[in-house]
Amino acid sequence: MENKTVLIVEDNDLNMKLVRSMLQLGPYQVLEAGDAETGIQIAREHLPDLILMDIQLPGMDGLQATRIIRKDPILSNIPVVALTSYAMQGDEQKATTAGCTGHIAKPIDTRRFLDMLAEYLEPGECQVKRL
């Protein structure tokens, strides 16, 4: 089976490490970006199979980044799953309105994380790239 690539767009180092570690438990290639602008650039260069997008990012937020992705003909079909906080009421609806395919609430349920991703992506082989 072809490798599947997941792009994580997350500015919090601990959250990035947690998501990366969980993806390494499954068979995924991982790309990482610490802000939305870099995430969009990496997505254009590598065309990931899935983007995990933090909503609250410095500069451009994850919702605006998702809107840009949805308008880009090269990126528009890539599933974008928002990483939302339980503390931020309404994030789920905002994410859906912006064009996110789904959402995963933070704090992330580590026992179910890979199963939740299966809705959007079938597994390939795991490799990690820090860009």
Taking the chain (131 residues) in runs of 10, the rounded mean pLDDT of each run is 84 94 88 98 97 94 96 96 73 84 86 84 46 42
Sheet hosting strand 127-130, strand order edge to edge: 102-106, 80-85, 50-54, 4-9, 28-33, 127-130
Domain coordinates of the chain in residue numbers? Answer: 4-130
Residue 123 pLDDT: 42
Find out if CATH 3.90.226.10 is the number for domain 4-130. no
Residue 129 pLDDT: 44
- Residue 120: both structure tokens together: 């959007």
**Coil/strand/helix, residue 39:** helix
Residue 88 pLDDT: 58
The radius of gyration of the chain from alpha carbons, rounded to an integer in Å, stands at 13
Judged on CB neighbours under 10 Å (0-12, 13-18, 19+), 87 is exposed
